[in-house]
Amino acid sequence: MAIKDKVVVITGASSGIGLATAKKLASEGARLVLGARREERLEELAGAYQQGQVIYKKTDVTNKDDVAALVNLGESTFGQIDVLYNNAGVMPISQLEELKVDEWEKMIDTNIKGVLYGIAAALPTMIKQGHGHVITTDSVAGHIVHPGTAVYAGTKYAIQAIMDGLRQEQVNNKIRTTMISPGVVDTELFSSISDPVQQLKTKKQEQTMGIRAEDVANAVAYAIDQPENVGINEILLRPIEQQ
Ligand code: NDP
C-alpha cells in the first residue's frame, strides 16, 4: 500500500496546502478524514469524491476534544489511521514591540498545541497498529527568523524539536515522521496578518514569488509514497527567488 487506500487525517483541509493535499491524495485513492473550522468548504470537497472516500468533521485544532473526535471518526469509520497530517496553522506576524499578545497565543495554540493534540489523538492507535506516519507542516521559518517573525518562527522551531523527538522515540514502533517545510506559498495564510507593515511586505512576496499549494501537496504525496521502511524526515521547498 503506497497511497491508495491509506487512511489519512488532514487538519486545515479547507484551504491552501491542506486543500491541495486532500485533492492530490483523494485522486490517488486515499481515504480521507478532513478537519477545519469552515465545515461548508469540507462538505463541498467531500461531495466531489466517491461516497465514503472523503469524510469530514468541523474541527478547531486549539480544542483537544475536537482533534480527538476527528481522529476517532477516522478510526471508527475506516478501522485504522495510516497517516496524520497536522497542517492547520496561522501566521499573524508582527514585531514583538507591537505586543499583539492575543496573536502570539493564537499562533502557539494553533501551530504548537494543535499539533500536539493531533499526536496525542493518533499515536496510541499507530502504536497499536504497529505502523503509522505523522506529517506536520513546518516552514522555512522553522530554520530562520526575521524581524517580525519571532513568535511564528518560534512555533515552527518548536515543531522541529517535537517532530524529531517523536521520530527518535518511535524508531521501534515503525512510525514515520515528516516535516514539510515550505517557503512562500500563495495561499490565504497572509490574510491573518493584522500588522500593516508585515501585511505589505508579505503580500508583495506572495504575489511575486509564491509557489502553488499543489507544489507542496506533491511533496506530501512523495513522503507518503515511499516504502514503509523509508522515512522522509523533512522536505524543504521554496521559490527559487526566495533567499
Ligand atoms: P491557509 O490559510 O490557506 O490554510 C490554513 C488552514 O488551517 C485552513 O484550512 C484553516 O481552516 C486551518 N486552520 C487555521 N486555524 C485553525 C484552527 N484553529 N482549527 C482548525 N483549522 C485551522 O494557509 P496555508 O495553506 O498556507 O497554511 C497551511 C500550513 O502551512 C500552516 O501550518 C502554515 O504555517 C504553513 N506554511 C505556509 C506557508 C505559506 O507561505 N503559505 C509557508 C510555510 C508554512 P479554517 O479557517 O477553516 O479552520
Task: Indicate which CATH number applies to the domain containing 35.
Answer: 3.40.50.720
pLDDT, residue 72, reads 98
The ligand 1 site (C-beta within 6 Å) comprises 11-18, 36-38, 59-62, 87-91, 110, 137, 139, 182, 184-185, 187-189, 213
Residue nearest to atom 23 of ligand 1 (CA): 189
Give the per-residue pLDDT at 1.
62
Ligand 1 atom nearest 88 alpha carbon: 7
Ligand 1 mean position, distance from CA 88 (Å): 4
Q: Whose CA is nearest to atom 6 of ligand 1?
A: 12
Q: How many A from CA of 90 to the centre of ligand 1?
A: 5
Inside any domain, residue 216: yes
Ligand 1 atom with least separation from CA of 191: 2
In a domain, 236, yes or no: no
Beta bridge partners of 211: 185
Q: Is residue 108 part of a domain?
A: yes
Non-local CB neighbours of 16 within 8 Å, separated by 6+ positions: 185, 187, 188, 189, 213
* pLDDT tops 90 at residue 204: no
Is the pLDDT at 122 greater than 70? The verdict is: yes
Confidence grade of residue 221 (pLDDT, cut at 50, 70, 90): very high
Please report the atom of ligand 1 found closest to the CA of residue 91.
34
Is 111 a domain residue?
yes
The residues annotated with a catalytic role in the active site are: 152
Enclosing domain of residue 48: 7-229
234 in a structural domain: no
Q: How many domains does the chain have?
A: 1
Asked which of 130-144, 179-193, 195-209 is least confident by mean pLDDT, the reply is 195-209
DSSP conformation class of 37: S
Q: How far is the CA of 168 from the centre of ligand 1 (A)?
A: 27
Q: How far apart, in Å, are the Cα atoms of 175 and each of 13, 213, 232?
A: 23, 26, 12
**Would residue 238 count as lying in a domain?**
no
Residue 92 lies in a domain: yes
CA-nearest residue, atom 41 of ligand 1: 185
Gap between the Cα atoms of 235 and 226, Å rounded:
13
User: Which has more confidence, 206 or 41?
Assistant: 41
Q: How far is Cα 136 from Cα 113, in angstroms, rounded to an integer?
A: 12
Q: Tell me: the pLDDT tens digits for 72-86?
A: 999 999 999 999 999
pTM of the model: 0.98
Task: Give residue 7's pLDDT band: very low, low, confident or very high (50, 70, 90).
Answer: very high
Residue 205 belongs to some domain of the structure:
yes
| pLDDT over 80 (residue 68) | yes
